[in-house]
Amino acid sequence: MPKSNLLAVTSITPDHFDINQLSHQRFKVYTAKQLDQIPQLQQLSAEQRFEMQVVASVLPFRVNQYVIDELIDWQQVPTDPMFQLTFPQRGMLKPEHYQRVADAMRNELGAADLKALISEVRAELNPHPAGQLEHNIPKLDGEVVEGLQHKYRETVLFFPSSGQVCHSYCTFCFRWAQFVGDKDLKIAARESNQLQDYLRAHPEVTDVLVTGGDPMVMKTRNLRAYLEPLLSDEFAHVRTIRIGTKALTFWPQRFVSDDDAEDLLALFAEIQAAGKHLALMAHYNHWKELEPEVAREAIRRVRQTGAQIRAQGPLLAHINDDASVWARLWQTQVELGIIPYYMFVERDTGARHYFEVPLVKAWEIYRDAMQQVSGIARTARGPSMSSHPGKVEVQGVTEINGEKVIALRMIQGRNPDWVQRPFFAKYDDQATWLNHLQPAFGEERFFFDE
């Protein structure tokens, strides 16, 4: 399909949406250094603002004007879920970590000593869970391939260097270590032909997931440079290209009114025309993210290209640990043409103690939410843990031969033979992660521990 026709297809806009209303909106971002420049925060006490500064010195903070103006209900702060999702809260650091950093800042500790203290605290937060740096980094001809992860046989994760930031940061993010300026904690590719060389050597790979950060922060010309080579016959074995993104929530203008939005949509259509399946793996945490008209317009435009949007996100205390929130989220997604894909368990990293929900409670919320929607919205798998051995789904609580157990299933495994294998753990209503569970029926270990 000629590019001019692609642009014509993706330019279709419903009559009720006025793109001119976005002409004045330019991307404006605030980081930890500009916290005191956000007018809405003046409604908080000086102590609350100091607490935010302390947390933002350890965990990454970045928010843009669209999120501030359109997604947060400032009358409900600090309990508003979108505020909790994007702004630091004292409880996101453990008390001992908070106190150490707060005392240092109050006592005006020297810059070098403060930096060293913060690094110590970060190192205690399990910055790369599930063996990301030790077990998932592939090699080619004996050399480590920077910016790639290859955990599951069919799927390679690619971290383009120019996509290792986001329009705003989620406070729960399991990839927070990518954003704190420490090169030792960062995963990023130096050049695109690293990915191509690796794919040539691995014909078993069918799916490439471009992730970050958020690849949608890149200009379209940069994203095109990474993806266009994969459309050639040489990479016929790559059948699906996935793009992990929060831009549909945090900056939907990327698909609607940015200077290169039309070219981005044209690229999406070209990928489809080349016979590849394109899936945007969209991160959603609350139905409020789907309310703004520009967010819905972005969804419409992406779907017009033939790309599919699959929605995923973790279950989080303070944000969405309520079955009715998930039911409304999934139902709204279906109405907008999005496929609910995963409910994740909060990973064992960063501020997990603030956001984590016990596995049994997570399953109860999942089950109750599923009971509120029709079958077409029951495509979301979960609660799912992206653990070291693989993706483990909590399937429920049951009783077998008089023993109360948690039933689990390996959705995806580091070893392909593990996929879809069920197993059972002793009942534990306080466990929040796989390593908290013990095998049921007197077994010494789980099958994947062998």
pLDDT digits (tens, 9 = 90+) for 222-263: 999 999 999 999 999 999 999 999 999 999 999 999 999 999
Closest CA to 268 of 212, 208, 313, 228: 228
11 vs 107: which has the higher pLDDT: 107
Closest by CA to 247, choosing from 207, 220, 269, is 220
Question: For the packed helices 293-304 and 3-10, what is the interaxial angle rounded to 10 degrees?
Answer: 150
State residue 173's pLDDT score.
92
Mean pLDDT, residues 403-421: 95
Q: Which residues pair with 340 in a beta bridge?
A: 311
Confidence bin at 130 (pLDDT 50/70/90): low
HSE toward the beta carbon, residue 5, CA cutoff 13 A: 4
Give me the pLDDT at residue 177, please. 80
Token pair recorded at residue 156: 């390679």
Mean pLDDT of the chain: 91
Q: What is the pLDDT of residue 6?
A: 40
Residue 8 has pLDDT above 80, yes or no: no
pLDDT tens readout for residues 304-332? 999 999 999 999 999 999 999 999 999 99
pLDDT (0 to 100) of residue 21: 65
Q: d(Cα 260, Cα 256) in Å, to the nearest integer?
A: 9
Residue 131 above 60 pLDDT?
Answer: no
Contact in structure between 242 and 279 (CB atoms under 8 Å): yes
pTM: 0.91
Rounded CA-CA distance 83/286 in Å is 12
Geometric angle at alpha carbon 288, from 35 and 128, rounded to 5°: 60
Mean pLDDT, to the nearest integer, of 83-112? 96
* Per-residue H/E/C for 275-291: CCEEEEEEECCCHHHHC
Confidence of residue 74 (pLDDT cuts 50, 70, 90): very high
At 136, the pLDDT band (50, 70, 90 cuts) reads confident
Question: What whole-number distance in Å separates Cα of residue 406 and Cα of residue 423?
Answer: 9
Tokens 């729960």 — which residue?
172
- Alpha-carbon separation of residue 413 from 130, 239, 393, 432 (angstroms): 12, 20, 11, 20
